[in-house]
Amino acid sequence: AACPPPARRVIVAARALLFWALVYSYCGVCACIAGLRLLWSIGRRPGETFRWVVRENPPACLNDPSLGTHCYVRIKDSGLRFHYVAAGERGKPLMLLLHGFPEFWYSWRHQLREFKSEYRVVALDLRGYGETDAPSHKENYKLDCLITDIKDILECLGYNKCVLIGHDWGGMIAWLVAICYPEMVTKLIVVNFPHPSVFTEYILRHPSQLIKSGYYFFFQMPWFPEFMFTVNDFKILKSLFTSQATGIGRKGCRLTAEDIEAYLYVFSQPGALTGPINHYRNIFSCLPLQHHEVIMPTLLLWGERDAFMEVEMAEITRIYIKNHFRLTILSEASHWLQQDQPDIVNKLIWTFLKEETTRKRE
């Protein structure tokens, strides 16, 4: 029998209480672990621990003309100015690229070069990242704001639809844009992020994924996460891309010293980490979703050696796609897939785009 309304309200309230107790308890655990690591670093190398070098000049790779043109657009409603790099002729179909954390437009450098022959390729700096404006309050980074940003940018660029590609956190946004504004997305391509409903359901049932997603909880704290990134001159940032545990694999396209400097240049600027981390500080109040279905053709690419996302979520994503769905898992690839295996990723994207075009013509 169905529960009477008062009992139902009590159950909902109890679940909410347990949920937030879990969030803040795990946040405390992650903070304690980070604090112990900080103390260990201070004990070993006190002088190095608090060294933070602000990179004054961008490395040459950020102004490489083969990647495209640096552009800016100001959104009328929000008043925010967004930075993006565009390659390919105006008037060609739009391919919009959304980066993850801790990245920026440059993570799509291989795709900017590859797809400009047939697309107007736009690699965006998301709200709070790089040269895009960064509102100061965390409420300005709620998911509905981030979704609206993409819709507004599309319109400002003079398009009403696009091929939408997202990686990591940009993949989360790409899924949500596809769900909320399906008429604006002709084809959806997501790299190493499952459907958001899969993620929220899976993480509560699998402690291993809960541990891997510990940074989601750690980021709920004010200022401390930003500080931890600066320790030892951004050692965490560098190790994310280069370490054996989380970085690009030995068979991948490793980042050059100049590539690393590009990331350090962007994130070493004062306040540069607060906007990106604010993206995560609203997530628990925005999930789970009310709407789930994705109705456009979808490609999901996944690096099996992802240190942050368990591969089982990739296959479960299939149940939410009400159209053609293709899943490709690359066994030797890391979380940073489009940088790790760019040639393979680009080939898979081309195949998917042309396959769907041919199918529509038939």
Q: What is the pLDDT along the chain (362 residues), one digit of tens a residue?
A: 455 667 777 776 676 667 667 777 877 887 788 888 888 888 888 878 888 899 999 999 999 999 999 999 999 999 999 999 999 999 999 999 999 999 999 999 999 999 999 999 999 999 999 999 999 999 999 999 999 999 999 999 999 999 999 999 999 999 999 999 999 999 999 999 999 999 988 988 898 998 898 899 889 889 999 999 999 999 999 999 999 999 998 888 999 999 999 999 999 999 999 999 999 998 877 666 667 899 999 999 999 999 999 999 999 999 999 999 999 999 989 999 999 999 999 999 999 999 855 554 33
CA distances (Å), 249 to each of 28, 86, 337, in order?
32, 29, 10
Closest CA to 285 of 216, 202, 215: 216
Residue tagged active-site, from 149, 168, 306, 340: 168
Domain chopping of the chain, boundaries? 60-199+282-354
Strand partners for 332: none
Q: Is 168 a catalytic residue?
A: yes
Residue tagged active-site, from 119, 141, 335, 340: 335
- The per-residue pLDDT for 1 is 47
- The per-residue pLDDT for 27 is 77
- The per-residue pLDDT for 6 is 72
Residue 195's identity, in one-letter code, is: H
Closest CA to 280 of 209, 192, 221, 205: 221
- Sheet-wide strand order for 298-303: 69-74, 81-87, 120-124, 94-98, 162-167, 185-191, 298-303, 325-330
Q: What is the DSSP letter of 156?
A: H
- Three-state DSSP at 117 gives coil
Q: How many CB atoms lie within 10 A of CB 288?
A: 11
DSSP letter string over 312-338? Answer: HHHHHGGGGB-S-EEEEEETT--S-HH
User: Which distant-in-sequence residues (6+ apart) come within 8 Å of 11 by Cβ?
Assistant: 3
CA dist., res. 354 & res. 338, Å (int) = 19
Closest CA to 172 of 149, 201, 143, 152: 143
Radius of gyration of the chain measured on its C-alpha atoms = 20
User: What class does CATH assign to 60-199+282-354?
Assistant: alpha beta
Beta 185-191 vs 120-124: how paired, if at all? unpaired
User: Which distant-in-sequence residues (6+ apart) come within 8 Å of 208 by Cβ?
Assistant: 310
Q: Is 280 a catalytic residue?
A: yes
For 284: left if phi > 0, alpha if psi spans -120 to 50, otherwise beta; the answer is alpha
Residue tagged active-site, from 280, 306, 320, 340: 280
Residue 361's identity, in one-letter code, is: R
